[in-house]
């Protein structure tokens, strides 16, 4: 069965610190997709990134970067120079090539303090 673990339940950092959110996944599929979503205190969900299992290139988008390591089944998310607006719950998710068995991690609550 597919599984996503986000071991960090809550993280607090001070503004401008870098922070990494961990995501470890389990799957027997060779083709799969990984995602990160953000849920700010207002409650809406925001899609951040999708990565397929054949693309191991790390990605950078502004202050956000993602490190995909198939060898350790991890897809970690780093925020550089964090800001108060980054405070949110962040979810990692996994699905197979057909959109079945879509699984979310339990989320990591990030608090960025001024």
The contact set with another protein (CB under 8 A) reads 33, 35, 37, 43-47, 50, 91, 93, 95-104, 106-107
CB of 31 to another protein, least distance (A): 9
Q: How far apart are CA 84 and CA 100, in angstroms?
A: 35
For another protein, which is the closer residue by CB, 87 or 95? 95
**Structural contact between residues 89 and 110, judged by C-beta atoms closer than 8 angstroms:** yes
Q: How far apart are CA 54 and CA 40, in angstroms?
A: 30
CB of 101 to another protein, least distance (A): 8
Question: Nearest CA to 34 among 12, 9, 54?
Answer: 54
For another protein, which is the closer residue by CB, 41 or 114? 41
CB of 38 to another protein, least distance (A): 10
């Amino acid at each position: 069965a597919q599984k996503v673990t986000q071991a960090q339940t809550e993280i607090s950092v001070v503004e401008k610190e870098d922070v990494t959110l961990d995501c470890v996944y389990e799957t027997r599929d060779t083709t799969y997709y990984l995602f990160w979503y953000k849920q700010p205190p207002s409650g809406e969900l925001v899609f951040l990134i999708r990565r397929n299992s054949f693309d191991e290139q790390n990605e950078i988008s502004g202050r956000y970067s993602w490190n995909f390591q198939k060898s350790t089944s991890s897809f970690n998310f780093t925020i550089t120079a964090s800001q108060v607006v980054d405070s949110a719950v962040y979810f990692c998710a996994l699905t197979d090539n057909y959109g079945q068995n879509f699984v979310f991690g339990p989320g990591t609550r990030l608090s960025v303090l001024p």
